[in-house]
Chain A
Amino acid sequence: MIIENSPTILSVQGLRASINGTEILKGIDLTVRSGEIHAIMGLNGSGKSTFAKVLAGHSAYEVTGGIIQFEGKNLLELPPEERARAGLFLAFQYPIEIPGVANTQFLRLAYNTVQAQRGKEELDPLEFDDFVREKMKLLEMKPDFLDRSVNEGFSGGEKKRNEILQMALLEPKLSILDETDSGLDIDALKIVASGVNRLTNKDNATILVTHYQRLLDYIVPDFVHIMQAGRIVMTGGKELALELETRGYDWISANKQQAMAGVRA
């Protein structure tokens, strides 16, 4: 929801980043205020995941220009773990498998680390077990997933649900969901979307990276941004996604100028 005068959670200005000397992000501007849901759409390879990983602090990307403020802090100064502890969360497009680490052990470590940071109580394995099982019910996940290794052998959809489970545990200030919808069957999509909707409120914000209008039927965005070749070239309301669905990306290129006459002053 767009709330007047609500505080800015994320402010990105002129962000440039490269990998192995190739510039991928070429000047991104984006402001996210609390309560808002933003969707980022764009062709394959346009830099959406790169943007998400730069926000999370992946060291393979070199930030060559611009600034990122997260709740007033200079995000670029923080290592990934401190960004996470400060309340930034990335649900990966391709969640990593970690053989040998039990999911429950991993989830509890992550949970307790963030709790400690917030000056809240850490949970022992038994307490955590009760707590996490409740959260899993919301996502209709079977408890078996606790004893298995992190994401190992999980189906595509199961991995995505495990990401949202982490989001539910960590209660981030800003969640970036990178194609969390792809690979989900329609029932799973509804479950995940309702999970996300339950977690969003006026004090946090969400960035959804997606290719499909379908997700936006369930999680309704306040803003839709179109990314092209490392820039946000167009920003609109939820109807922009529909427009895109019918007209395709060619239409964007032709209409860049006029659409950029912003939604927000």
Chain B
Amino acid sequence: MSEATHPDYLECLLKSWQAKPAESLSWLNQLRAQAIDRVSTQKLPTKRDEEWRFTDISSLTRLPYRPSQPDSNLHIQDIQHLFLDEVKNRLVFVDGHFSRQLSVIANPAFTIGNLPELLSTHAPILESHLGQYARFDSNVFTALNTAFLRDGAVIIAPKNTVVAEPIHVLFIATQSEVTHYPRCLFIGESGSRVTLIEDYAALEKAAYITNAITEISLAANARAQHIRLQRESTQAFHLANCAVSLAHASNYQSISIALGSRISRYNLDVRLTDEAAECVVDGLTVISDRQLADTHTCIDHSKPGGTSHQLHKCIADDTAHAVFNGKIIVRPHAQRTNSSQSSRNLLLSKTAQVDTKPQLEIFADDVKCSHGATVGQLDQEEIFYLRSRGLSEKAARNLLTYAFGAEIISRIPVTSLRQQLEQAVLDQTQSNSL
């Protein structure tokens, strides 16, 4: 294995960092400065790090991509195919930069916009949340994103606000050989209810790096449905961290779909910080060729009466490699925790690979925890049954593969997105014959 830490990589990035955009606030500059300090004391992870055992990002260090510059050449027709009918509010970021003309902001019942603009009107609330959940002390990518933090999506649902239509935050990559630092902050105040679609897409088969951070804070009794769609270029690197903080009796439902990227890594950390919080954390990875997709989740129960349910599925074809590491922590005071985790994996070729690992750290005694993992191929008897009804072997295999993924996709409460994904999974599994 090659040495992953190219000595110049972080240095190169450090040089491209500029102290501050003129008019920003001192607390934000401080946050950025702290983050860049952390970067200079850290190294890129290698396969020798337990947390990065399966995911070799050494090739990333050969591409010390500069931060992207704004490029305003994009027209609405170029990205229309990514839009969702149900959506009334859409934030579009092109190569990490907010695009006003591609975005639609229709709803005054809650706050939605990009970071620089909202800093002037919502500084106190932003200061108390931004950078508070995605900690950069020990994560070099979070530190980098925070250091380069300039733009981002901000959504604040005020107390008891119910937003019926889903909110679409679309990050589009158009340039090669750049690094984007997308950032999302979602604040759900008490009793609010929102559906959020976080979407990473590319228009061309470009090589670039996305280093994304999402922070979600749900106050008491707030509910959020968070759908995350990673459909980057298959030559891209996608490194993402999402940190979620759940207050009393709040409810967080997450569905993460990973289809794109040459190498992707998604860390999802959900902290149940108060009693009776609930989360459902589902995931689907569909990859082929030489793709690698690594999902690390950590669900941290620290108070009594919490619930977490997790179903993660991977479909890997060709020489693709899927990784799932699901950590569940139940801390000593988190009595009456109810937690389940299931990892189910489908290998479509002899050379595809899946590494799945449950990691349970349970320190309370009155808990209900279950977990299980399976790795398998398509069932020969099922294929025969379908063929005996006239379906070609290929159609039968595609239908069964599709059905495997459909269990997750069917949980998405947005019809047009479900249809886009059903098509994407069919395309990914090369179905033309259905």
Using CB atoms and an 8 Å cutoff, list the residues of chain A in contact with chain B: 56-60, 79-81, 83-85, 89-90, 92, 95-96, 98-101, 106, 109-110, 113-114, 117, 149, 166, 170
The residue from B382, B388, B404, B406 contacting A80, defined by CB atoms under 8 A apart: B388
Q: Number of residue pairs across A and B with beta carbons under 8 Å?
A: 73
Structural contact, A166 and B407, CB atoms closer than 8 A? no
List the 4 closest A-B pairs by CB distance, nearest first.
A100-B403, A110-B389, A113-B390, A96-B385
> B102-110, B132-140, B194-202, B392-400: which one contacts chain A?
B392-400
Chain B residues in 8 Å Cβ range of A83:
388
The docked-state distance in angstroms from the alpha carbon of A55 to that of B271 is 58
Cβ of A172 to closest chain B Cβ, rounded Å: 10
Structural contact, B403 and A85, CB atoms closer than 8 A? no
Contact A57-B388, Cβ < 8 Å, known A99-B403, A100-B403, A101-B400? yes
Closest to B395 in A: A109
B381 located at the interface, meaning its Cβ lies under 8 Å from any Cβ of chain A in the complex = yes
Cβ of B327 to closest chain A Cβ, rounded Å: 28
B384 located at the interface, meaning its Cβ lies under 8 Å from any Cβ of chain A in the complex = yes
Chain A residues in 8 Å Cβ range of B387:
57, 79-81, 84
Interface residues on B, range: 20 to 34
Chain A residues in 8 Å Cβ range of B389:
84, 106, 109-110, 113, 166, 170
Instruction: State the main secondary structure of chain B at its contact with A.
Output: helix
The docked-state distance in angstroms from the alpha carbon of A60 to that of B404 is 24
B22 located at the interface, meaning its Cβ lies under 8 Å from any Cβ of chain A in the complex = no
Closest to A60 in B: B380
Closest to A97 in B: B382
Structural contact, A100 and B385, CB atoms closer than 8 A? no
| Binary contact readout B199-218 vs A (1 if CB under 8 angstroms, 0 otherwise) | 00000000000000000000
Chain B residues in 8 Å Cβ range of A114:
390
Chain A residues in 8 Å Cβ range of B384:
56, 58-59, 80, 96
Cβ of A207 to closest chain B Cβ, rounded Å: 15
The residue from A60, A81, A92, A96 contacting B393, defined by CB atoms under 8 A apart: A81
Closest to A112 in B: B390
Structural contact, A92 and B385, CB atoms closer than 8 A? yes
B1 located at the interface, meaning its Cβ lies under 8 Å from any Cβ of chain A in the complex = no
Contact A98-B403, Cβ < 8 Å, known A79-B393, A81-B393, A109-B434? yes
Closest to B381 in A: A96
Chain B residues in 8 Å Cβ range of A85:
390
The docked-state distance in angstroms from the alpha carbon of A98 to that of B385 is 9
The docked-state distance in angstroms from the alpha carbon of A106 to that of B404 is 15
Chain B residues in 8 Å Cβ range of A95:
385
Structural contact, B395 and A96, CB atoms closer than 8 A? no
